[in-house]
Amino acid sequence: MPYKKPNIEKIFYTIGEVADMIGENQSTIRYWENQFDALKPKKNAKGNRLFTKEDVFTVKLIHHLVKERGLTLKGAQLKLRDNRDETIHNYEIVSQLLEVRRQLVEIRDNLDGGKQE
């Protein structure tokens, strides 16, 4: 019987891992931490930031509002403070639609590749 590697989920992510996930600089995430009350990652004894899954989701949400939708930091702060549930719902819908689009493009590319052979 082959060895099956256990699927281990991380509890905490470093700021470098979070920055890589969203394609931003670490300094931008540190700046957002100071600007948004919703983003407060834990810090270890050395002062390194440790992001939970919820923190990572908040960073992705802020990135979506500021970088993809073009809101100012003040606008994003107001959106998260006043309409957090609606903002999260809209973000999840957009994420799902982008995933469907990615899958459709992949299918199209596979079909186009099959015709050329």
What are the extents of the domains in the chain? 1-82, 84-117
Over residues 28-66, the pLDDT tens digits come to 999 999 999 889 999 999 999 999 999 999 999 999 999
Q: Tell me how far CA of residue 58 lies from CA of 2, 30, 35, 40, 84, in angstroms.
A: 39, 13, 13, 10, 10
1-82: which CATH number, 3.90.180.10, 3.40.50.300, 1.10.357.10, 1.10.1660.10? Answer: 1.10.1660.10
More confident call, 86 vs 7: 86
The confidence score (pLDDT) of residue 115 equals 58
Alpha helices in 1-117, H assignment, sequence order: 15-22, 26-35, 53-63, 73-82, 84-116
